[in-house]
Amino acid sequence: ELAAASAQCAQLDEACRAWQVYQYNQTESFRQTLQEKIPSFAQVQNPTLESLAQHIEQYLDHLRQESDTLTHQINELKDEVQLQ
């Protein structure tokens, strides 16, 4: 019984390691794909889905701020043109 339990434990350890490698490879592939669009992804080492999600959220916040600034500038230019 002990030998069977030990063998099963070894199989579970092997399966766990295989899953960790698979998960890491998938996460790394995801990071590399997004790195082309989000330059800060290049700085992420040992990525987790949580850390990548945080980077995406920060990047989206940055884009929103840029969009708001540009929209404000466009509106100011429109107002200037209307005044002339």
Would you state the pLDDT for residue 49?
A: 87
Q: Report the SS3 class of residue 2.
A: helix
pTM for this prediction: 0.67
Paired tokens of 46: 């040992």
Q: What is the pLDDT of residue 61?
A: 96
pLDDT in tens, 27-66: 888 888 888 888 888 787 778 888 888 889 999 999 999 9
Gap between the Cα atoms of 60 and 52, Å rounded = 12
